[in-house]
Homo-oligomer: A and B are copies of this chain.
Amino acid sequence: MIPVQTALDTILKEVAPLGLESVQLQNALGRTLGEDAISRWPNPMWNNSAMDGYAVRSNDTLGASEEAPVRLTVIYDLPAGHKPDRPVGQGEAVRIMTGAPMPEGADAVVMVEKTGPAPDNGVFIRSIVKHGEHVRLRGEDFQKGDVAVKKGAVIRPAETAMLAAIGSPFVFVYKRPRVAVVSTGDELVDINQTPPPGKITNSNGYTLAALVREAGAEPIQLGIARDNRASLLEKLKQAAEADCIVSSGGVSVGDFDFVKDVLKELGSRMIFWKVAMKPGKPLAFGVIGGKPAFGLPGNPVSSMVAFEQFVRPALLKMSGRLEIERTTLPARLEKDLKIKSGRVNFIRAKMTIDATGLCVTPLAGQGSALLTTMVSANAYIIVPKESEGLKKGDMVKVQPFDMTAFYK
């Protein structure tokens, strides 16, 4: 039985980022950028107007006010996307739209709200403007040659905006890990069957596939391996074609657990079998045909907890992500919590927010087969192995895992 942190460190030492591939920008959301994205031009590309109004020489507005407007001659209109016809001379103005390039000669923009029509193609300027006012300067966002988005960045909408702004219809991103998901056990039937006596549905196959997908990787559901050598061997050979193997069940102590024997037959290198955590203790990790392989517990909740703590970080590292562990937050415990010490406890809990900050309530029913508690939870309370219990009001370490309910 090895400590949780040792298990994680061991796993992360064995996995490395996959290679890169080119994808269209519109398909890059959530992917990890595989190289620095360098801007090929400055942004803005030219000095331009930040307002709808009149491009003027600021000196011409000296003394202008509501009571004593200054009249300028409008020499032309300049919509965004069009080029200035000619420079702005003394006493002249150009009617300009937001984003349009500043015409030569003009050094400021008077917003339209501070102007009014004047006879003979004129405009009344009702306010002084300073040099540079309402003008966006060439390169004020970024310069040509700047790193616009760094290698390792996750492509969110903001990075999409930036990559579009520097003209990147295609981007190099890390490949998504393809993850083979295998459930083991004679007791399993597929979810389209009513389980006959003694059987249960293969819920883990679907749950683990969902967890893989949530981690940004691609699940390959291989279905059920039976509790015999031939069946398990066949499934694991198929699974080793993927980038990572995740199985559930078959890693506890009974004779009916063939996983260890078959793993040896596949020439796999098994690295550990048990982790000092609850739930999730019977967790195996090794390497099969060069691919990281996780043998998760068969209990639904145990397999989810073990996935979150170990498989997810491994998949994020394979995906090129720089930050791979879930954030933990300090929160105030709303209820006493009894636990057995000796192992790190992951307690299903409901995190909420009140005026004082984050609060967390441990849920009743922590048995590792109880799915109802999992459906009500949005976070784990992580209780260190030395702890012998926690009191209402204690600050505890919480790991939210919910992309939708707590963090909408």
Contacts and interface: CB of A to CB of B under 8 A. Distances in A.
A26 B29 CA distance: 21
A138 to B, nearest CB: 12
A197 B47 CA distance: 11
A407 to B, nearest CB: 5
A185 B81 contact: yes
Nearest to A207: B161
Contacts of A26: 206, 209-210, 219, 221
A272 interface: no
Contact of A355 (B155, B204, B330, B356): B330
A93 B146 CA distance: 73
A77 B254 CA distance: 11
A184 to B, nearest CB: 10
B161 A371 contact: yes
A400 to B, nearest CB: 7
Most buried by B among A41, A197, A367, A372: A372
Interface in A33-50: 40-41, 43-46, 50
A36 B371 CA distance: 16
A112 B254 contact: yes
A230 to B, nearest CB: 16
Interface string A1-42: 000000000000000000000000110011000000000110
A329 interface: yes
A267 interface: no
A83 B197 contact: yes
Interface residues of A, number: 115
Interface in A323-363: 323-327, 329-330, 353, 355-358
17 contacts: A45-B197, A46-B197, A77-B256, A80-B186, A80-B256, A82-B186, A97-B252, A148-B375, A156-B210, A156-B402, A159-B375, A162-B375, A164-B201, A167-B193, A325-B408, A330-B355, A403-B403
Interface of A: 25-26, 29-30, 40-41, 43-46, 50, 52, 77, 79-83, 97-101, 112-113, 136, 140-142, 148-149, 153-169, 185-188, 190-195, 197-207, 209-211, 213-214, 219, 221, 227, 252-256, 298-300, 304, 316, 323-327, 329-330, 353, 355-358, 367, 369-372, 374-375, 377, 400, 402-408
